[in-house]
């Protein structure tokens, strides 16, 4: 059972054996909120049409695929790293930690893990990093969708807890709206204090 590939990739997918889990994360760039990763093992008996990089499709389409993946995948799981962890160990290490947690949370153990990007989390099975894997490997595409939609849902919830910052609109990214709100309302506990723009604001506040 091998991963389905769209386009060219460095990995010889035909040589993979056992169940393949795709892994991706969402939320490395935002100034606020956790980084969230997902791991997905697809079911070849229940294929899902239209899987691709979550950033390349509309929110409506992502939401639809999100439900299809949850219903049809052999296994899926989400891992996360919180704001305090991001500030303590940096966003790269926090992203890898979230990926590790996602893989460990899978109800079914994969034979191989394929990860988007050029860095690998510490997992106890063979793993391969694939640059732009979210547009090449369907399992990674599925993971990117689960991670993105899960994080967006969290940002909608945080928008209600922290009104005025526009989190539902920009999902925590450093947009003009977000920066203006930070200057007017101040930095909150959900903001990443290790990020440059937040550091500058904290200096000004003090």
Q: Between helices 59-72 and 138-161, what is the axis angle to 10°?
A: 120
Task: Give yes or no for residue 8 having a pLDDT over 50.
Answer: no
Check residue 99 and give its pLDDT. 98
Gap between the Cα atoms of 198 and 15, Å rounded:
46
CA 32, CA 130: separation in Å to the nearest integer?
Answer: 27
Domain boundaries, the chain: 13-159, 162-205
pLDDT digits (tens, 9 = 90+) for 18-59: 899 999 999 999 999 999 999 999 999 999 999 998 989 999
- Please enumerate in sequence order all residues whose Cβ is within 8 A of that of 156, keeping only pairs 6 or more positions apart, or say none: 167, 168
Taking the CA atoms of residue 167, residue 168, residue 173 and residue 175 in that order, the dihedral angle to the nearest 10 degrees is -90
Specify the residue for token string 């079914």: 108
| CATH architecture, domain 13-159 | 2-Layer Sandwich (3.30)
* Interval 108-151: pLDDT, tens: 999 999 999 999 999 999 999 999 999 999 999 999 999 999 99
Contact at 8 Å (CB) between 26 and 35?
yes
Query: Which pTM value belongs to this model?
Result: 0.91
pLDDT at 15 over 90: no
> Is the confidence at residue 7, as pLDDT, over 90?
no
């Amino acid at each position: 059972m091998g991963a389905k590939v769209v386009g060219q990739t460095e990995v010889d997918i035909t040589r993979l054996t056992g169940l393949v889990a795709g892994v991706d994360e969402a939320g490395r760039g935002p100034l606020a909120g956790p980084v969230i990763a997902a791991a997905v093992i697809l079911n070849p008996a229940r294929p899902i049409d239209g899987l691709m990089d979550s950033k390349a499709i509309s929110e409506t389409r992502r939401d639809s695929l999100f439900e299809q993946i949850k219903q049809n995948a052999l296994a899926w799981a989400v891992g996360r790293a919180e704001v305090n962890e991001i500030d303590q160990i940096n966003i790269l290490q926090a992203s890898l930690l979230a990926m590790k947690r996602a893989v460990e949370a899978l109800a079914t153990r994969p034979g191989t893990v394929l990860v988007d990007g050029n860095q690998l989390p510490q997992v106890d099975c063979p793993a391969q990093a694939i640059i732009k894997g979210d547009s090449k490997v369907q399992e990674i595409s599925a993971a990117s969708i689960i991670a993105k939609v899960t994080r967006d849902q969290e940002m909608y919830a945080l928008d209600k807890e922290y009104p005025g910052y526009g989190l539902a609109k920009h999902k925590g990214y450093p947009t003009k709206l977000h920066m203006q709100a930070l200057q007017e309302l101040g930095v909150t506990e959900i903001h990443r204090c290790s990020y440059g723009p937040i550091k500058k604001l904290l200096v000004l506040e003090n």
